[in-house]
């Protein structure tokens, strides 16, 4: 089956620093990847759509300068949380859309970010 990995699985960083999270599709090509954020006991909220070779599309209310997304290849998208603050602490999940299917999407295992 299709596999999506995320790295790191968890990270602790100090307030004001930046942290990069990687999302990789391991055995298929993904022209589109999605980034979600999940606060404790809440649902997954879509943050942005990452398209290979073009700028990401951000959902309303998500600061594009704070959450930098780069989709440099068909198998890798990165999310960089810049100048992180404690309120950015959350569970970040990516999903990758199989470009050969209209609906197949596979989710990564998530990255737990804690900002101290």
Partner 1 sequence: AQKVTQAQTEISVVEKEDVTLDCVYETRDTTYYLFWYKQPPSGELVFLIRRNSFDEQNEISGRYSWNFQKSTSSFNFTITASQVVDSAVYFCAHLSWSSASKIIFGSGTRLSIRP
Within 16-35, the residues that bind partner 1 by CB under 8 A are 32, 34
DSSP strand pairing (19-25 vs 90-98): unpaired
Which position among 43, 54, 60, 86 is part of the footprint of partner 1 (CB under 8 A)?
Answer: 43
Q: What is residue 3's DSSP assignment?
A: -
Q: Kindly give the pairing relationship between strand 90-98 and strand 111-115.
A: antiparallel
Report the C-alpha gap between 40 and 1 in whole angstroms. Answer: 29
51-90 residues in contact with partner 1 (CB under 8 A) are none
Q: Of the candidates 49, 70, 80, 82, which one interacts with partner 1 according to CB under 8 A? A: 49
Residues near partner 1 (CB under 8 A) are 32, 34, 38, 41-46, 49, 91, 93, 95, 97, 102-103, 105, 107, 109-110, 112
């Amino acid at each position: 089956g299709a596999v999506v990995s995320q790295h790191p699985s968890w990270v602790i960083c100090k307030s004001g620093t930046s942290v990069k999270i990687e999302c990789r599709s391991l055995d298929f090509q993904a022209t589109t990847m999605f980034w979600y954020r999940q606060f404790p006991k809440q649902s997954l909220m879509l943050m942005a759509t990452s398209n290979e070779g073009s700028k990401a599309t951000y959902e309303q209310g998500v600061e594009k300068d704070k959450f930098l997304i780069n989709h440099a290849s068909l198998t890798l998208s990165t999310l960089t949380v810049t100048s992180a603050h404690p309120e950015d602490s959350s569970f970040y999940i990516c999903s990758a859309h199989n470009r050969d299917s209209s609906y197949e999407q596979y989710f990564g295992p998530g990255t737990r970010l804690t900002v101290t």
